[in-house]
Structures are given as structure tokens and as C-alpha cells.
Structure 1
């Protein structure tokens, strides 16, 4: 297996799959050099820890040649470029799996790689970099993959590892549900708080509920039905989020069973001075709403605030308190 875009999610997936498969990580030179020097350390959920050196490391897409599966874990803005880099090197029969945020990446990959099966996948939990070659899974969940014959080899390889994977018949609905959950990424990034602490404060949850209501309205207009991934149906999430803190903690205990270290990937991007995926999350809601004659003002304002934070530079963005952010969203 090859992993193109071996950042937090890519290293996590590749490191676990190395128990049963030959894995090539393709990533930035600095990141690959750190893994070469120290091995890849994966921690979480909880106190779980493993270090692996059983990896081939590379910095160019040509290293994907001969792979049975190529896992694409680049940011959505880099999907088209990733497909162009892969196209000359994929072997006949290579299956490509998109483990990316957003709604459109599998379709983009299929259009660019018409001779190869492309499957949609979804990682439900967050993974953050905790050191040059160390990555931490902050919450639990089962990775989902399109229920298709081409997924069989991947599922068989994952079965012998610590990676929990299941096939799902409705990946568009899964991706929509993941987008609804990922709308918290921007709020967490702007709060500069760990996820558990941020979600424990009602003002931040009210901001998330506003974004989710806008997303659910846009999905209804577009005929998209997010599936239920957890204990609460997507349509009821905004109501739950708006409850007072003590009642929320009692009713949504699972939502707060998050490692104290856990933060969103967008927070990590802002800390490292990298572009975020806000345009593929809140920005996607704004675009979908506009196509159906709706507005999504809370999502639109969060897009603006995250881009302002990007322009501030690595780790220099102002933190927003819950009441401040709630007032800003109107």
C-alpha cells in the first residue's frame, strides 16, 4: 500500500497497516526524514502506544508504482494535483481510496484517473501531530469504506491491525454526516482550546449548532441525506448542542469522551502556518446553500474568520472566546 499525503491521517493509517502490509509513506521531506531517524510513533486512543520502523519512505508519487492500494490523504485543495502526480505511475488494477474531508474528492479522483477504481473512505476521529514523527489519535470510532468488491483486499489487511474498518453502502451519506461533524473544526481552531474543553462550553456549541442547521438545510434542498454515525441523528444534533452545559454533559457523554490532548486538524494547520480546509467545510455549505437559493451566514462568517487567522501567520491568530464568537456569528 502507498499513502500519498502522509501527514497526520496518512501516517496514522499507514503506520497501523504496516502490521500486515508493505507500506510506502509519501510525504514532505522533513516529515519523512524525521520518521527515518526515529521511527513512527502512534499513540491513542487513551494510553495506547506503538512505534514502527517497518515503512518505506518517499517524497514523490513515483513511489506508488506497484501498489495494490493508494490511499490519498492530501487536503481537498490538493486533490487535482495529487491525481496528476499519480496518473503516470499507477499500475493496472491499482485501487485508489480517498480518505479526505469534503464531498467531492472521490469524484475528482475518478475523473482524473478513469482507468482505476476509486473508493470513498472516512476517518471519524481526529489525529494530531505531537512530535516530528509522532501522531496521536484523540478519540475513537470506526473507519468506513465503500462497500465494493475492490475494497476486499484493504479490509482483509486492516483486519489484522489495530485499525477498525467497516464497509458501508452509502458513502455519500457518510461524507455528508462527516462534514456536519467537521463544522466544529473551524470553531475549535479559533477557540485555541482542546476539543473536550471547547465542546463543554455552550457558547461554542451554539456556534456549531448554527453551522449545522445551515448545512442540514442546504443538504435537504440538494436531496442529500446525511447518515447517522453516532447515537444522535444529524437532524437532532443542533438541539442537543444548545442545551445548558450540565444537561449536555449528562445526555452527550460520548461526545465528550475525547482525549484531553485532542484538537482539530484545522487548529494544527493554523499553529503551523498552513492553509486550512475551511473552504471544503463551511465553504461547501455556503456554496451549496447559494445554489439552492438559501443563505448560510454563520458558515460564511467563519470562512472569513479562519482566512483572517491564516493570514496572521503560524500560531499568531487571536483566540476567540465562546461569547465573542457567538456574537460575531450574529
Structure 2
């Protein structure tokens, strides 16, 4: 199996390190700058559960250097996707699978989703449908990320918690390509279940992110404050209930209720969300993939979302003023 991780930051680096350590897959990492230089010079170091491991996957700067792959794992943040999609062409042969490990609602969401919106293109995450055309959903295998990790210095990944990558085909089938990738991830030490309803799990993760992330960016508060302060918790809950109605109109089934999902966020403690971290570091925030898309889908299914709309307006302005949107 030839597997390439495009954008091997924290999560991509974690996956690359464990897959390379196992040795069953031929792993190529595409990165840039000091991170790439450090990996090429000294290898990729993973710090996890108090142990340090150094591996030496093939590390390159471009898709042309990497060449055709069996799997291409995309672990970049959603705002970067439209810009990098044309660069992926040298990685793709006829049977290459694109593993979409991206937060929020992805560009392929409505591919092979039975119902009136099948093959609908989501403008907020795929302007003009360019991702759909360049990275056609027929190539895509969905992946939901649960681990948390950080690039603590160039070439060094610190893994803090989590070991699950849920996989799923857009049509719900248990395909050979999904089973093969699951087996490789399990052999590397991860949990990698293949789910028939990947969108249900996608929404449960997004359910918290669409509220926690924007409110943290607007207030500077950590998760314990957002979920524990009654007024902020009430705003979260209202946003999440609006989103639940939208998702259920699209056929999604929620395995837990809203209060349990908020409680799950509270358990993480005094954690800065990824959106707040991006804002503080002057990086593009995942505004549209996590919340703009909710408002777009509300219009699609004819559901009101007044709280989400209000928070989105505030968040977009905050992002523009900070140069992060």
C-alpha cells in the first residue's frame, strides 16, 4: 500500500509516524518549511504516552516528487483545500482513494446521499464546485478525526489524547478500500471502525464544534467556561438545537442528546478550541466549514437558524478584522 499524507502537520504527522513505525505501508509525507527540513534531516519524532519514537518516512515538498499513490490522506484545514486541490493531480492514478480527514461538512457531503438533494454542491465549502470537479467524490473515503496532537517543534509531534479515525464510504458500503485502510490503521495502533452512516458521526462531532469554536473565538474563553457559564451554555445549546433540526431534515440520526454532547465538551476542560488558536496565531479560521455551512444548509432545507446566523455574522466580522477570514 502506497499512502501519502498531504499536509503532515499535527494529525497527519501522528498518522504518518505510527503507520511508518509499523512498516506495512509505504508512507510518504508532503510538508514544507522548517517542519519538512527537520523531518528530512532527523526523521519524524512522535511523543505519545510518555514515549518517544523516531521514524523516517519519505518526506518531500511536492506531489510531483511523491508520485502516484494508492491513498492520499488530506489533513489540512478546510480553508486551504480549494488552493491545494490542483496540486494533488500528480498523486492520483486511476484507483487512488482520497481520504477526506477534514473538519466540518465536506465538499462531497451530498454525493450518493439518497433524497432530493443528492449531488448538491455545498457553496460555502466548495465555491463554484471546483473541489467536486478536481477531487471527484467517487474517489473519496470519509474520515472523522478524534485524536488531538500538536507540532511542538519542527519535526516533532506531541500526541495528547485520542486514537480513533472513523472511516466511511459516502454510499454507506463496506468497500475493499475502506477495509484495507482500516486494517492498516489498526495495525499501526489506532481504532479505525468502518461505519455505514458516516454522516451521523460527522454531525455529532460538528455539533459541538459549530458552537464551541465560534463562541471561543468571539469571547476568548476556553471550553470549561463556554460549557459552564450559564449564559454561554444557553447560546451553545440554542445553536446546537437549530443545527440538529437541519441535520434531521437531511436524514441524520443523533445517537445522543444535546446536553450529553455539551457535557462531552465540558469534560475536555480548560482547552482552547482550534478556532481560538487560529485566531490568536493569525491563521485562517474554519468559519464556513463549521458554521457558514450550517446557515447554507438551513436555507436548503427551509429551517430557521436565527442564533447561528447572528453568531456567524459576528464571527465573520471578527475574522475579517483580525485578517483570519
Same fold (TM over 0.5): yes
**What residue is the counterpart of 1:214 in the other structure?**
242
Q: Kindly report which structure 2 residues correspond to 1:231-310, keeping only aligned pairs within 5 A, or say none.
A: 233=256, 236-238=257-259, 241=262, 252=263, 255-258=265-268, 262-310=271-319
- Aligned residue pairs: how many? 294
Cα deviation, residue 197, structure 1: 5.1
Specify which of 112, 123, 141 is matched with residue 134 of structure 2: 112
Q: Give the equivalent residue in structure 1 for 2:29.
A: 25
Q: Give, in whole Å, the separation in 1 of the partners of 2:165 and 2:217.
A: 23
Separation of aligned partners in 2, 1:189 and 1:156: 38
Q: Which residue of 2 aligns with 1:318?
A: none
| 1:78 counterpart (77, 80, 86) | 80
Report the equivalent of 1:14: 16
Answer yes or no: is the 8 Å Cα contact 2:223–2:265 preserved in 1.
no
Q: Kindly indicate whether residue 178 of structure 2 is the aligned counterpart of residue 168 of structure 1.
A: no
Q: Any conservation in 2 of the 1:43–1:49 contact (CA below 8 Å)?
A: yes
- Counterpart contact for 1:110–1:116, Cα < 8 Å: no
Shift of 1:35: 3.4
Mapped partners of 1:134, 1:309: distance in 2: 32
For normalisation by structure 2, the TM-score amounts to: 0.77
Query: 1 CA distance for matches of 2:226 and 2:43?
Result: 32
**More strand by percentage:** 2
Distance 1:155 1:303 in 2: 36
Match of 1:248 in 2: none
Extract unaligned runs of 5+ from structure 2: 112-128, 169-173
Asked whether the equivalents of residues 2 and 23 of structure 1 are also in contact (C-alpha less than 8 Å), the reply is yes
Shift of 1:216: 0.9
RMSD value, Cα: 3.0
- Give the Å deviation of 1:256: 4.1
Matched-pair contact (CA < 8 Å) for 1:127–1:265 = no
Query: For residues 303 and 237 of structure 1, what CA distance do their matches in structure 2 show?
Result: 20
Q: Distance in 2 between matches of 1:72 and 1:168?
A: 19
Q: What's the TM-score once normalised by structure 1's chain length?
A: 0.76
